[in-house]
Amino acid sequence: MKVEPTKLDGVLLVTPQVFGDDRGFFMETFNRDKALELGLPGEFVQDNHSKSSKGVLRGLHYQTPQWQGKLVRTVQGEIFDVAVDIRDGSPTFGEWVGFYLNDENKQQLYVPEGFAHGFVVTSDTAEVVYKCTSLYAPEQEGSVLWNDPEIGIDWPIAEPVLSAKDEVGQLIKDLPILSVT
Give dist(CA 169, CA 61) in Å, integer.
Answer: 9
Q: What is the dotted CATH code of the domain comprising 43-174?
A: 2.60.120.10
Residue among 110, 117, 130, 136 flagged as catalytic: 130
Q: What is the pLDDT of residue 2?
A: 92
Q: What is the pLDDT of residue 179?
A: 75
Give dist(CA 44, CA 131) in Å, integer.
Answer: 6
Q: What is the pLDDT of residue 181?
A: 65
Q: What is the pLDDT of residue 104?
A: 96
Q: What is the pLDDT of residue 25?
A: 93
Please report how many Cα atoms fall inside a 13 Å half-sphere around the Cα of residue 37, on the Cβ side.
Answer: 7
> Does residue 61 carry a catalytic annotation?
yes
Residue among 49, 61, 110, 117 flagged as catalytic: 61
Give dist(CA 136, CA 57) in Å, integer.
Answer: 19
Q: What is the pLDDT of residue 56?
A: 98
Block mean pLDDT (10 aa), the chain, length 181: 95 95 92 91 96 98 96 98 96 97 98 97 98 96 97 97 95 86 65
Q: What is the pLDDT of residue 50?
A: 98
Q: What is the DSSP string of 2-13?
A: EEEE-SSTT-EE
Residues contacting residue 138 through CB under 8 Å, at least 6 positions apart: none
| pTM, 2 dp | 0.94
Domain boundaries, the chain: 43-174
> Does residue 130 carry a catalytic annotation?
yes
